Structure formats: C-alpha cells, structure tokens
C-alpha cells in the first residue's frame, strides 16, 4: 500500500472487451477507397486509425488516410486486401 501525501493507490481494473469501437454511424459507400458518415466525425475517423468494415465481401480491414468534414465526414481509406464495396454496412474503428 502506498499512501504518501495522503494519496492511496487504487487498483481498479479496466477490461476492454474488444479492440474495436462499434460504428454507430451509418456509412455510405462512395468508392472503393472512400465512404461518408453523417455530421462531423473527424475525431472518430482520424488519419492513421485502423478500421474494420462489414460489406458484401465480408469483414475487411484498412487504414484511414484522410478525413474531412464539410456537410458530411468524408473518409478516405487504404484497404489491406479488398476495396470497399457497395454493400458497405458498418465501419468499426480501432481503440488505438
């Protein structure tokens, strides 16, 4: 127990159940490397952050290379293997 200066350490455990933050926005497919989401979500869809998509081809992974807000947030991605497709239905972002 450490209690110097009346500060006592608390051993709280934080459990992260997933390495992905579930996508709450409905993505709209634009192209094989781009999608949009409503409102300003540039803080969620940050450059360099990893994504996990659900689309016609299945679950695919990629990295955000650009994110900009005008009337929608437009997100440009570089996918690991298969590009985005018109069946895009969900985008999760990595915790880190």
What is the Cα–Cα distance from 40 to 56, expressed in whole angstroms? 26
Catalogue all structural domains in the chain, each as residue range(s) with its CATH number: 18-94 (2.40.30.170)
pLDDT confidence of 18, banded at 50, 70, 90?
confident
Mean pLDDT within 25-49: 96
Q: Contact at 8 Å (CB) between 50 and 94?
A: yes
| pTM confidence score | 0.81
Question: What average pLDDT does this structure show over 58-85?
Answer: 98
Structure confidence at residue 23 (pLDDT): 80
Is there a contact between 30 and 74 (Cβ–Cβ < 8 Å)?
yes
């Amino acid at each position: 127990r450490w209690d110097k200066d009346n500060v006592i350490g608390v051993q709280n455990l934080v459990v992260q159940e997933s390495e992905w933050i579930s996508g709450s926005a409905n993505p709209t497919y634009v192209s094989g490397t781009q999608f949009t989401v409503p409102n300003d979500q540039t803080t969620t869809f940050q450059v360099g952050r990893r994504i996990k998509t659900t689309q016609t081809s299945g679950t695919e992974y990629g990295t955000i290379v650009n994110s900009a807000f005008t009337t929608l947030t437009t997100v440009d991605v570089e996918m690991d293997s298969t590009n985005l497709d018109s069946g895009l239905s969900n985008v999760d972002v990595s915790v880190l």
